[in-house]
């Protein structure tokens, strides 16, 4: 039985993941610290995902599978968060210390959760964290680039108090970015940690799960617009992402998606204080100012 203070619940919205989900299940089952409950939400799968989940639930008593009525298509962003909350509302466990949203296409080492908890336990300001994502290409691990104070959306992990302080996830695209920015507004630190035990393999390129990578990059730009990203910062994102697959065009499409949303007067996340904080953080990253929040520095990462 997991000791109080280290109790983890996981929620995984999945749809048509038969190619990937077994590796994710084995990654969780091999952990040195098991979750007290893992709710897997079958969000309308039409392939063999359901059968794989049924076998896993029969084998592992801490896996709890629920099937959500089929909306008829995969829906990233708001659809993922809708499915997450479908599982959240059906959690049987009431006493837990950490909550994670876990994708059904990731693979990670047996020490992942134990290592992550060690960072939380020595840093009382750490509210949300993940490891660093990698892709496996031609037998080699290729690191996906992300800032150290962001949290990977594929394996989002929150201290329960932090998750409740921010009011959970917004049911829109870029929900993960909004969540970790709100965490900083509440005085929590957020991190993606470069530790060998926290490497995780994302089994497909980020943003490619619905209608391919081109649509994914346009959606990324729309998400940045919804979140409230400063127009100057979107150019920095576009330039930065030009050096990733699909090269050049991927970064351009993020910028195009942002400005198309602006021209179409798409809705935005309606929180002026959030946008003020976000813009200050973004300008600080460009060397043009300072963030509004001051969080004490983390302890040494020596392990």
Decide if pLDDT at 149 tops 90. Answer: yes
Mean pLDDT within 212-240 = 94
Q: Which part of the chain has CATH 3.90.550.10?
A: 8-202
Q: What is the pLDDT of residue 207?
A: 45
Mean pLDDT within 143-150 = 91
Q: How far is CA 225 from CA 97, 176, 177, 251, in A?
A: 33, 14, 12, 15
Share of the chain above pLDDT 90, in %: 82
Q: What is the pLDDT of residue 208?
A: 43
Q: What is the pLDDT of residue 212?
A: 72
- CA 225-166-11 angle, to 5 degrees, is 90
Q: What is the pLDDT of residue 138?
A: 81
Decide if pLDDT at 39 tops 50. Answer: yes
Decide if pLDDT at 2 tops 80. Answer: no
Decide if pLDDT at 71 tops 90. Answer: no
Decide if pLDDT at 205 tops 80. Answer: no
The 3-class SS string of the chain reads CCCCCCCEEEEEEECCCCCCHHHHHHHHHCCCCCCCEEEEEECCCCCCHHHHHHHHHHHCCCEEEEECCCCCCCCCCHHHHHHHHHHHCCCCCCCCCEEEEECCCEEECCCHHHHHHHHHHHCCCEEEEECCEEEEECCEEEECCCCCCCCCCCEEEEEHHHHHHCCCCCCCCCHHHHHHHHHHHCCCEEEECCCHHHCEEECCCCCCCCCHHHHHHHHHHHHHHHHCCCHHHHHHHHHHHCCCCCCCHHHHHHHHHHHHHHHCCCCCCCCHHHHHHHHHHHHHHCCCCCCCCCCCCCCCCCC
Q: What is the pLDDT of residue 26?
A: 98
Any idea which of 26-40, 128-142, 218-232 has the lowest mean pLDDT?
A: 128-142
Report residue 172: phi and psi, to 5°.
-150, 170
pLDDT in tens, 76-87: 668 899 999 999
Q: What is the pLDDT of residue 209?
A: 46
Nearest Cα residue to 98 out of 131, 125, 127, 122: 127
Q: What is the pLDDT of residue 213?
A: 83
**Fold type of domain 8-202:** Spore Coat Polysaccharide Biosynthesis Protein SpsA; Chain A (3.90.550)
* Cβ neighbourhood burial of 100 (10 Å; 0-12, 13-18, 19+): buried
Distance (Å, whole) CA 30 – CA 27: 5
Given a contact cutoff of 8 angstroms between Cβ atoms, the answer to whether 132 and 178 are in contact is no
What integer best gives the mean pLDDT of the chain?
A: 93
pLDDT in tens, 237-256: 999 999 988 899 999 999 99
Rg (CA), the chain: 19
Q: What is the pLDDT of residue 281?
A: 96
User: 134-144 burial by CB neighbour count: b if 16+ within 10 A, else e?
Assistant: bbeeeeeeeee
Is the pTM here over 0.75, yes or no? yes
């Amino acid at each position: 039985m997991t000791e109080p203070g280290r109790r983890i619940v996981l929620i995984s919205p999945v749809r048509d993941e038969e190619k990937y989900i077994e590796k994710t299940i084995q990654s969780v089952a091999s952990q040195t610290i098991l979750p007290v409950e893992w709710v897997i939400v079958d969000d309308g799968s039409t392939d063999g995902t359901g059968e794989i989940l049924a076998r896993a639930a029969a084998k592992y008593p801490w896996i709890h599978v629920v099937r959500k009525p089929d909306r008829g298509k995969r829906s990233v962003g708001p659809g993922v968060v809708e499915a997450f909350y479908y599982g959240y509302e059906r959690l049987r466990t009431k006493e837990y210390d950490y909550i994670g949203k876990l994708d059904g296409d990731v693979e990670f080492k047996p020490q992942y959760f134990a290592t992550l908890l060690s960072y939380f336990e020595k840093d009382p300001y750490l509210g949300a964290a993940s490891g660093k994502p990698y892709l496996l290409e031609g037998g080699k691990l290729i690191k996906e680039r992300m800032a150290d104070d962001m949290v990977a959306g594929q394996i989002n992990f929150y201290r329960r108090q932090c998750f409740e302080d921010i009011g959970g996830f917004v049911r829109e695209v870029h929900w993960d970015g909004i969540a970790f920015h709100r965490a900083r507004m509440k005085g929590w630190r957020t991190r993606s940690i470069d530790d060998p035990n926290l490497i995780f393999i994302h089994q497909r390129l980020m943003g490619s799960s619905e209608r391919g990578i081109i649509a994914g990059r346009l959606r990324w730009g729309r998400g940045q617009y919804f979140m409230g990203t400063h127009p100057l910062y979107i150019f920095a994102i576009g330039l930065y992402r030009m050096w990733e697959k699909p090269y050049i065009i991927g970064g351009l499409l993020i910028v195009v998606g942002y400005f198309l949303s602006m021209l179409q007067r798409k809705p935005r996340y309606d929180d002026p204080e959030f946008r003020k904080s976000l813009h200050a953080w973004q300008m600080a990253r460009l060397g043009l100012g300072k963030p509004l929040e001051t969080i004490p520095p983390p302890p040494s990462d020596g392990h």
